[in-house]
Amino acid sequence: MLTPASHVRPAPHARRWYTLASWLVVLLGLLHNGAFVSGFLLDAVRRQSSPVFQSMQEYKINLFGTHSLLKFYEGFSLTMGCLLILLGVLNLIVSRSLPLPALRSAALFNAVACLLLTGLSLVYFHVLATSLFVLALAGYTVCYVRSAP
């Protein structure tokens, strides 16, 4: 339950860190989808002659219809980029109206999410993705610490 004191707006410095971290998540999604789409368009000819992409195209998955592994790869990759963009934008939208306890809780949730994503990124992704997750984690963590009552 919110108390009268919890309606106090967060300190500007805490909001700045939260906003910065949210923009980093949006940036990662934009970079990911931009690189995927430009690489897909630029490498269309090379993809047709690549044995890896040919194998992915030929490998069929029967899951509510028949799909190629390549379609799953492309779909999941674009979905990941879109979800990162949407998560960052959602955080930017709600952060403007959140009272301090709610902003602090959101920062904690996002820090835990970024920690998990950083771990996955260390195993599966490249250094740019990992770096942006680490920076977003730092931003949300600083927001959480600085917004302490």
Q: What is the DSSP letter of 96?
A: T
More confident residue, 65 or 84: 84
Residue 107 has pLDDT above 50, yes or no: yes
Count of all residues that appear for the chain in the document: 149
Q: Tokens in use for 36?
A: 């995927």
The vertex-98 CA angle with 85 and 25, nearest 5°, equals 20
Task: Quick: pLDDT tens for 36-76.
Answer: 888 766 666 666 677 888 888 889 988 888 889 888 888 99
pLDDT interval class at 24 (50, 70, 90): very high
